[in-house]
Amino acid sequence: MEKYSPQSIEKKWQSKWLDENVYKTEMDEKRPKYYALEMFPYPSGNLHMGHVRNYSIGDVLARFKTMEGYNVLHPMGFDSFGMPAENAAIKHGVKPSDWTYSNIDNMKRQQREMGLSYDWDREVLTCRQDYYRWTQWIFQLFYKKGLAYKKKAYVNWCDTCGTVLANEQVEDGKCWRCDSEVVKKDLSQWFLKITDYADELLKDLDKLQGWPERVRIMQENWIGRSEGLEFELEVPALGEKIAAYTTRPDTVYGITFLALAAEHPLVEKICEANPEKAEAIRDFVKEAQNQSDIERTSSESEKKGIGTGVYAVNPFNGNEAEIWVTNYVLADYGTGAVIGVPSEDQRDWMFATKYNLKKIITLQPKDRELKLEEMTEAYVDKAGILVNSAEFNGMDIKSAMQGIMDKAEKEGFGKRRVNYRLRDWLISRQRYWGAPIPVIYCDDCGEVLVPEDQLPVQLPEDVKFEQGSVSPLAQSEAFVNCTCPKCGKPARRETDTMDTFICSSWYYLRYTDPHNDKMPFDKEKVNYWAPVDQYIGGIEHAILHLLYSRFFTKVLRDAGMLSFDEPFKRLLTQGMVLKDGSKMSKSKGNVVSPEEIIGKYGADTARLFILFAAPVDRDLDWSDEGVEGSFRFLKRVWRIIEIFENQIKAGADEYDIKALTPEEKELRHVLHVTLKKVTDDLGERFNFNTAISTIMELVNAFYKFQNNDKLNPGLAREVSVNLIKMLAPFVPHITEELWAELGFEGSVHQQKWPKYDEAATQKDEVEIVLQINGKVRDRIMIPANISKEEMEQAAKDNQRVQELTEGKTIVKMICVPKKLVNIVVK
RNA sequence: GCCGAAGUGGCGGAAUUGGCAGACGCAGCAGACUCAAAAUCUGCCGUGGUAGCCCCACGUGCCGGUUCGAGUCCGGCCUUCGGCACCA
């Protein structure tokens, strides 16, 4: 055998796998299916270590499940619409498509150099017509079901990106992509009605037991369900009613004012009703709207308001409550109007104190009596007895709540209501490089869908890209001008494209039937392969992509296109790859390039290190010395096979196990313990790091025989064959090479995963620990299967135990079979 | 502020059901091979006492508890990281 040289071995096998198309997958009803999926990347140009980690995890799983006998679907593609391509066009004058496709070519080459077992025939590119045609088709499906609609609203706008953003894409009041401040704009935009599914999206989180709990909790918080009462307050001066929502109906007798959002639709009418204050109110509204999103939504910022001199009537007791226009009430949550109950809500307390508004106590704790003049803050505990609340006086909170809501419903001015924090998904983007929204506007017919046989609405090629200008699509006369499909008159196309998160909300379904040109996917195929059995990706998608995909799956299910409720059965959120304790980034200069590492040590070493260095779901600090260690291990594997090459080839698959020496029996024991542990770690627990460390122990045990040329050939063969098979999912090239080198037929990756011999994992003799009062005092070897009494006797017979218990009374003895005897003495 | 996760040698980490704390790897030290170095192989490697071993004490963020026995369970803190944050 020659020296281990990853560069030549890896190239050789990669082209062989590619030429022979060994990772091609077809439906097969005879075998159980397994769908392993890594989140597809954005084609930024190069793979980074996060990708390497993601794909290494997925590849081990796909290869392991294949060896276990599953029919494994393991596809890859590119989330290839999006801003960076357009920015490249603006900056360097390259076409977004050219930029994108050349990046894809480069990244695919890098993926191939990693030795990943993808079925490339199923590749999905979201920017290709054969894909976005169906993205548009699905949009139209949503439209026909009333789940896509256009409305005017105060939306999040990023000036740098020149487009609107979804709520989920605003982080701390800043754009998720470019970090610039987000402002509010009043625009007419397309939305998807995800709120229709809020309840199911929340409820079905219970079905996702294979997801990390924290992701489920994050989604739960994001959806933010609350129950309460919505009721109407009359405003005699306007001849109107204002609806308010509260989760504390028990406090309604304490209302002393009504707070409105600055954007509340009745604000202008209130100004008209009270001309004296109109100007001041309008100024206040303007000021509030000029505040940035961060200022307005921070809990630290000052709560301001202006009294309008117009009053609303509390329907419960007829009391008047002045209407205040404020900067803190959100226009798009609840009704945009909030009751002010100073004594039982801390924010209302501060607001009322600041503006000298009345406070009424309507809730008294059981153990003390509250007095307004002694109180310095609101009483917010949800415990006590109602006072000042008419017929509800003396009730506890729970019954008062029900009674008050019953009253509102009976008298017809209010209703129980569930509210969600989740808002509808704003999907229009004023950008070029995305799937055009397939809608036409006609002066006579209004909004008209582009007929299905005219899909896709294609992106025009002859457009200009300029910094800061309006969308290139809106400037393209040839694109905008069209005829109305209904009446044939001149009409205009929608020039907005879809949020790229739409494209990635269904790609995992397309993989099951990627070449279908009649439908997005065939029902039978999608139901065979999907849902995804194991999804692997970064935690950054905990809400965005994972919530949207769940929504899409449910809508497509309701449309009869598939028959499951959730797209991803199990989810694994991998940790980040760090260097020197912080995230790799160009600005910090701590980037380690996968290409360099693969060039120097080979893909097998890179994969092995990244899987060995830390548990998959934890952050991993990159270590150059650690990589050396992984490389060293592979060289050790290579050499030990080389040392025993002759025995392995001479050995038989069936041999006389009874003839083994005690040392050889021990090696065989280690082998089968390793098999058991590795199988368990890969299949049940995703403990790749400990699976590898166990294999290292096996190799260490094998090395004990390195100078022993009398090692039983059958055993040498058994150990080597199983060692190679166990390593195969992790390091596919070196194992394939060793497999061939030893003269075995076919690919190691098409072998059956080895079974362990239960008998060999047991031992005749075990070492147990002798404890006195819980402290280890000695260790002895005893037969594995002796009785409790025999164990106790063996412990008592032990010389050290006798020395240390001399003159003391044995109170108790605890025996744990095969582990320990604890003697409690006084 | 609310919710969640984590805290173990010089470092990454292991300990699956409450049962030998520190597997495996990195770094370090020593030896073998070598003219020498690299590579490789072997051994040592938590702290302190004793200074060779044996042995003893201490030790999993801190304080307390349950238990024959706690890194693991319970109560109370501290620190770090992540998510949400005027949601009425």
* Residues A617-630: tens digit of each pLDDT: 999 989 999 999 99
| For range A176-200, the mean pLDDT | 90
Distance between CA atoms of A764 and A732, rounded to whole angstroms? 36
DSSP structure class, residue A556: H
Element (H, E) at A229: strand A225-235
A819 nearest nt, CA–C1': B19
Q: Which DSSP category does A618 fall into?
A: S
The token pair at A469 is: 């200008």
Q: Give yes or no for residue A173 having a pLDDT over 90.
A: no
Task: From A273, A279, A264, A251, select the one nearest A325 (Cα to Cα).
Answer: A264
pLDDT in the model for residue A2: 83
Mean pLDDT of A184-194: 91
C1'-nearest nucleotide to the CA of A303: B86
Q: What nucleotide is nearest A338 when CA is compared to C1'?
A: B88
Asked if the bond preceding A520 is cis, omega within 30° of 0, the reply is: no
- Cβ neighbours of residue A765 closer than 8 Å, sequence gap 6 or more: A781, A782, A783, A784
- Check whether A506 has a pLDDT greater than 70: yes
Assign A129 a pLDDT band (cuts: 50, 70, 90).
Answer: very high
Name residues 410-429 of chain A with a Cβ under 7 Å from nucleic strand B. 419, 421
- In whole angstroms, give the CA distance from residue A102 to residue A310: 64
Smallest CA-to-CA distance from A483 within A475, A492, A474 is with A492
Q: What percent of chain A has pLDDT over 90?
A: 75
pLDDT over 70, % of chain A: 99
Distance A538 CA to B26 C1' (A): 27
ipTM confidence score: 0.94
Q: Is the peptide bond before A472 cis (omega within 30 degrees of 0)?
A: no
- Residue-level pLDDT at A297: 67
pLDDT at A299: 65
Model confidence pLDDT, tens digit, residues A701-728: 999 999 888 899 999 999 999 999 999 9
**pLDDT for A533 beyond 70:** yes
- Asked whether residue A292 carries a pLDDT value surpassing 70, the answer given is no
CA distances (Å), origin A216, targets A219, A224, A508? 5, 12, 20
- Name the average pLDDT for chain A: 93
Q: Residues 769-788, chain A: which have Cβ under 7 A from strand B? A: 769, 771, 773-779
* Closest by CA position to A423, among listed A201, A203, A192: A192
> Helix (H, G, I), strand (E, B), or coil: what is residue A271?
helix
- Taking the C-alpha atoms of residue A653 and residue A635, their distance in angstroms, rounded to an integer, is 26
Tally of residues, chain A: 826
Nucleotide with smallest C1' distance to residue A684 CA = B16
- What is the secondary structure of A277-302 as a DSSP string? HHHHHHHHHHHHHHS-HHHHH-TTSP
- What pLDDT is recorded for position A470? 79
Closest among A174, A291, A296, A309 to A238, alpha carbons compared: A309
Q: Are A611 and A627 in contact (CB under 8 A)?
A: no
pLDDT over 70 (residue A3): yes
Residues 178-237 of A with CB under 7 A from strand B: 213-214, 217-218, 221-222, 224, 226, 228
Residue A294 pLDDT level (bands cut at 50, 70, 90):
low
What pTM was computed for the model?
0.94
What interhelical angle do A96-113 and A594-601 show, nearest 10?
Answer: 30
Radius of gyration of chain A (CA): 34
Q: Rounded to whole angstroms, how far apart are CA atoms A546 and A550?
A: 6
A298 CB and strand B closer than 7 A: yes
Least confident of A179-183, A483-487, A535-539: A179-183
Strands A305-313 and A257-261, by their bridges, are: unpaired
Residues forming beta bridges with residue A244, ordered by sequence position: A231
pLDDT tens digits along A356-377: 999 999 999 888 889 999 898 8
Q: Is the pLDDT of residue A293 over 70?
A: no
Residues 6+ apart with CB under 8 A from A638: A1, A4, A734, A738
